[in-house]
Amino acid sequence: MNDHSPPWLQWARELQAIAQTGLAFSTSPYDTERYSRIARIAAEMTAKSGALDEHELLTTFLAHPGYATPKVDVRGAVIRDGKILLVREKQDGKWCMPGGWADVGERPSEMVVREVREESGFDVTPERIVGVFDANREGGALQFFHAYKIVFLCRLLGGEARPSDETLAVDFFSLDALPSLSMNRTHPRHLLEIQHHLRDPSRAAAFE
């Protein structure tokens, strides 16, 4: 599957990763300066093409030290009476499965339970993995850092709908009548794969 990001973003993303890894292992002040310059070029490219603040971008790039690796996002697919649980994001006003960035030191299964509870008010238990997706190939909002998305199919245990600091509303929707989706958080291909798993419980997890 091709990366839907514009070419300039793909180039800038790769330059940033080269700079981050180079700065992590550089032992020469000359190499440090070269890699720092590469990081600035990546920030300049992104700022000019994406109408963003160059200084803020560079600060963000340099705040991620060490070898450059993809970030991890977890999402909980929770079904009740044939409908899927979605939350409305404050950031863009659109809907997605509850979830978010993984925290260091926490098990993936624990993360999705916590994220669903925090964003929706519902208690769940993860039963299986629907799929592991390349989040940068979903055609949603521009995302600079490369990320993988793990979607868990979860069983509803209890709780009640309760928005959070990050969400405006919580509701269950028919998979045939979905609201406007926050595409970089929940993409139609995730929902299609969830439907496949609901029809076939023995289906293997999807991966890319």
Burial of 172 (0-12, 13-18, 19+ CB in 10 A): middle
In a domain, 134, yes or no: yes
Together in a domain, 115 and 47: no
Together in a domain, 179 and 78: yes
Together in a domain, 15 and 84: no
**Whole-angstrom distance, CA of residue 46 vs CA of residue 53:** 9
pTM for the structure as a whole: 0.73
Cα R_g (the chain), whole angstroms = 19
In a domain, 2, yes or no: no
Decide: 183 and 141 in contact? Cβ < 8 Å: yes
**Whole-angstrom distance, CA of residue 60 vs CA of residue 67:** 15
Burial of 114-131, coded b for 16+ CB within 10 Å and e otherwise, reads bbbbbbbbbbbebeebbb
Query: Is pLDDT at 20 greater than 90 in this prediction?
Result: no
**68-77 per-position pLDDT tens digit:** 678 899 999 9
Per the structure, the complete domain to which residue 168 belongs is given by 71-207
Together in a domain, 85 and 144: yes
Where is pLDDT greater, at 170 or 5? 170
Domain count, the chain: 2
Together in a domain, 40 and 82: no
**Whole-angstrom distance, CA of residue 132 vs CA of residue 107:** 16
CATH number at residue 186: 3.90.79.10
DSSP H or E segment with residue 40? helix 29-50
Q: Quick count: other Cβ atoms within 10 Å of Cβ 160? A: 9
In a domain, 1, yes or no: no
Per-residue tokens: 93: 């006003």
**164-196 per-position pLDDT tens digit:** 999 999 999 999 999 999 988 999 999 999 999
